[in-house]
Amino acid sequence: MGNRMAHNRKEGSSGRADRPRRRNTNRGRGKTTPPRTITRDRQTPGGKVIHLSGRRRTKERRGTPRESRGTPRAPSTSGNARTVGRTVGHKRLWTVAAVFLVSGLLLGGRAVHISLTEDKDYRAFAAEQSWEGTQTVPPTRGSIVSADGRELATSLEVARVIATPYQVVDAAATAEKLKSIMGSETNQSVDEIRAALTRRDANNQLMGYSVVATGIKPETAARIQGEALEGITIAPDTERVYPNGSLASQLVGHTSDYGQAFGGVEARFDDRLKSGKDVSLTVDSAVQQELQKALTTAVEKSKAKSAVGVLMRVDDGSIVALANTPAYDNNDFDEVPVEDQRNKALTDPYEPGSTFKAFTVASALEEGAVTPTDKFVVPDHMVVADHVINDSEPHETEVLTPGGVLEHSSNVGATKIAMKMGGKKLYDNMRAFGFGQPTGVDLWGEDPGIVPAYKDWSGISIGNIPFGQGFTVSPIQLTSGYATLINGGYRVEPHVAEDDAPAERGPRVISGKTSAIVRGMLQGVVDDGSGHFAQISGYTVGGKTGTSQKVDPKSGTYDGGGYVASFVGFAPATEPKYVMLIAVDEPAKSYWGEVDACPAFRQVMEFTLGYFNVPPDRRGFKAEEPLW
């Protein structure tokens, strides 16, 4: 999707998940001075005053007597002796103070030097060396677990190989030995290992800390430690792994080598995970896998740029699957293009096109502006504020009910219904359904899209907003809106964490009667209209296709911006359990939602209904042959 109305997008947060390391027991760094021994039983209570004059006289008695050096000894009084003592004492105190001052300046300069030239390495070294017995190692980061019990992210106990370069005696031999033990576990050459062993600082001095390898298996680390190599130590560590590779990659997020969380569940629930607690998701790994497979096929078949899918429970907004294609493996996140890292179901609003027409009809029914049996004369084009509104294909003038407008996906029909209701009521209903506002999803980075304030509507707004142009929605927002549309009219708050389900139902937007009428109309779209490729044998299915134009970011017009082909559907239509959106971005072979998106919907929804044992509500019904 990528293109959007001109506004800023916020991309996710990170947390810090730095892990303090255990104290390294092999701390030898050159020679050390033995500690001085204090014999406490020889000390007397209180302070002991040592007179400088007395100490001086003692020293003099050890050498030649002062009188024998030819210097006459002047008579003195006790007062003079005290004065001399104080004078000499003050001089010595000033000398000691000067020594401390110079030492402090030198140490301070060295600290600045370290902070500027070796900051990263010394901080790491300090982290290794500074643990005291009273401190505790933080708990291992919690796992992210799917609804069916599969670990989508977990932490393994591993180790780091640390070198103290100035203690390494024979770097070449040590590198060879480490390579022979670690093998292909780190994909490092002997030269790369030797470079880590001989690392130097900005002054060309061998450093005191250098990471040779990370993510080492415990058994390999034990072998290295058993070699007792000079200057080599082993530090305990943990490694974040994603056992299912590319499954739900943008949804799960990832952590860096230093424990910083980026995107998805990893970032949103960073504090909980850092405390050692697991996060259980509403996402089912089997359905997620099926959705990703269908999106991949849709992109290949339509030669599209990318695709997004969201599958949600209708009653409470629980997200059963959420996928972006192309996906990526979080274990190799550093190699992923930035474009593919975004969870576009949240971050990339687009104009919804014809999928929005269902909301226009529902709003008009709820406001009493139209009835299900009202008839509208619908040509293939009409003029609104000097702009021509066209249907997608030329046709003879037709007479259509609101349900017929949805089945035929008529732009002109949707505009006529909206005009009968009035722009202000349409705007108010859009806001009531949640468009232009955050959904409250428990993930960061959601873009709420843009719905122009009614005071900012132009003359053409009543002509193009009713069929999904002139404003933007996010995929998760549109899916949530459809859940409200078909669940009896209650707003839902989408969520991925199992314990984030709202305690109560959301506010009611439309009546149960209006909701039931619209469900029936949308079933007609699949039975007899543009959504026929979404049919599923044995079940009633409802939904709406959409083809929306993208705004060209350079020209600011629809010319050359490409298309988004989409379908939003639900099943069973008589008593909906699940609602799903499929949006295919910039398909090259066709731009119709029924061709590019409906087949993927059918594949995933059919799997989901069977997987969760939803009873068929249309026994004996045979769906059309799948398009692919």
Nearest alpha-carbon partner for 206 in 194, 215, 216, 214:
194
302 three-state secondary structure: helix
What is d(CA 62, CA 151) in angstroms, rounded to the nearest whole number?
A: 81
Contact criterion met (CB below 8 Å) for 207 and 199: yes
Q: Is 237 a residue whose pLDDT tops 50?
A: yes
- β-strands 306-313, 279-280: how paired? unpaired
* Single pTM value for the model: 0.77
Closest CA to 625 of 591, 601, 597, 602: 602
Nearest alpha carbon to residue 372 among 396, 346, 348, 401: 401
Structural contact between residues 165 and 208, judged by C-beta atoms closer than 8 angstroms: yes
| pLDDT tens string 560-609 | 789 999 999 999 999 999 999 999 999 999 999 999 999 999 999 999 99
- Residue 441 pLDDT exceeds 80: yes
Looking at per-residue confidence, does 176 or 110 come out higher?
176
Tell me what the pLDDT averaged over the chain comes to: 84
The pLDDT of residue 97: 53
Tell me the mean pLDDT in the region 14-22.
38
Tell me, what's the pLDDT at 149? 97
Element (H, E) at 387: strand 387-390
Q: Residues 184-211: pLDDT tens digits?
A: 899 899 999 999 999 999 999 999 999 9
**Lowest mean pLDDT across 64-73, 82-91, 158-167, 521-530:** 64-73
Which residue segments constitute the domains of the chain, with CATH numbers given? Answer: 144-280 (3.90.1310.10), 287-335+346-611 (3.40.710.10)
Compute and round to an integer the Cα radius of gyration of the chain: 37
3-state secondary structure of 579: strand
Residue with tokens 């039931």: 516
Residues 324-355 pLDDT 10s: 999 999 999 888 898 899 999 999 999 999 99
User: According to the model, what pLDDT value does residue 338 have?
Assistant: 86
Alpha carbon 356 to chain centroid distance? Answer: 29
Higher per-residue confidence, 495 vs 41: 495
What pLDDT, on the 0 to 100 scale, is given for residue 393?
Answer: 93
Describe the strand order of the beta sheet including 261-262 as a list of residue ranges.
14-15, 261-262, 254-255
pLDDT band at 101 (very low <50, low <70, confident <90, very high): low
Mean predicted confidence (pLDDT) in 379-392: 96
Each residue's pLDDT tens digit, 212-234:
999 899 999 999 999 999 999 99
243-282 per-position pLDDT tens digit? 999 999 999 999 987 789 999 999 999 999 999 999 999 9
CB 207 within 8 A of CB 166: yes
pLDDT for the residue numbered 131:
39
pLDDT tens-place string over residues 485-518: 999 999 999 999 999 888 899 999 999 999 999 9
CA atoms within 13 A on the CB side of 453: 2
* pLDDT band, residue 91 (cuts 50/70/90): low
Q: What is the pLDDT of residue 83?
A: 46
Question: Token pair for residue 271?
Answer: 């504090």
Percent of the chain with pLDDT over 90: 71
Least trusted range by pLDDT, from 74-88, 178-192, 509-523: 74-88
What's the pLDDT at 133?
Answer: 43
pLDDT tens-place string over residues 530-567: 999 999 999 999 999 999 999 887 777 887 789 999 99
Residue 321: per-residue pLDDT:
98
Which residues in 102-130 are b (16+ Cβ under 10 Å) and which e? eeeeeeeeeeeeeeeebeebbebbebbee
Least confident of 77-81, 361-365, 442-446: 77-81
Q: Is the pLDDT of residue 312 over 60?
A: yes
